[in-house]
Structure 1
Amino acid sequence: MKVAVYAGSFDPITKGHQDVIKRASKLCDKLIVAVLNNKNKKYWFSLEERKELTEKVLEDIPNIEVLDFSGLLVTFMEKNGAELVIRGLRAVSDYEYELALAYGNQEIADGEIETIFIPASKEYLYLSSSVVREVATYDGKLEKFLDEKIISQVRERAKLLNRE
């Protein structure tokens, strides 16, 4: 069975993430969407909330499992029997960063994992979770950026954070 991992913070998960995930799910038997918890990063949503939002928007894709992790991606992959890393690319700057990670992961895993890059669809080239958070902060339209299943939760979080 070919198992792949698509990892990210997903704070929140965007339509750009969803697009890459849907396309990646066709390349493997099982795709693990790994929600990263980085202690050095400040998130809008807790790890549990980010995992819940991610599960909600991906519930219609049958070969996906949403898990959370912290630490090295290679260690997570070994524990879950994965051999492929899926990464989305938006720009040349993404490629340079992701290429360095791919070589590092391959080195750490003694050549046992490969990275597949999937270019972002044209309509999502500019899209990131930070753009979504900025738009939500100013009560902008989120329909083009987020799945309708999670828009209300993102709006509520923006209102809560604006009060602080």
Structure 2
Amino acid sequence: MLALLLLGKEFGVSSNLRTMCTLVGAGRRHDFFRIDWRAQTWNLVFAAGAILGGFIATTWLANPDPVAISAETTAYLNSVGIDYPAGEGFVPDELYAMDRLLQPLNWLFLVVGGFLIGFGTRWAGGCTSGHAISGLANLQLPSLVAVIGFFIGGLVMTWLILPFLLPYLTAAA
């Protein structure tokens, strides 16, 4: 972060989407995408490195031991309709198995969720990483407000909304 501050750069993963849209010609149709994409190459390299690092970590550096999920977490997941046997992975198959992507309702949830994330990112003027890392490091009050909003939204979604949606997502495939 110090290097970014010294170089006058701002960090944020969501800006990569804008850069990629610019690369494929979106600037011909909308002013928002008329930017110098070459100035954002470093951020594209960062995003590619994050994807490559995740692939390397899960393919060659994964821990062979069973995943240690607490009994409380397993009990909670069971209470909201997810049969999640502890130690068999980080995410329950009922939500994240590849065959779940073929379910129309899951597609609807993905599309609506993606739209809401994109809308919120654009409305907040950046994503969680941009505000929480760059914005807070620059002592920007709008970033503090955005980060507080992100956390409140995450808590509301996790504890109030998601328990009502999970039965629809975990319905028989």
Q: TM-score range by the shorter chain?
A: under 0.3
Q: Hey, which of these two has a bigger chunk of helix by percent?
A: 2
TM-score, reference length from structure 1: 0.25
Q: TM-score, normalised by structure 2?
A: 0.24
Larger radius of gyration between Structure 1 and Structure 2: 2
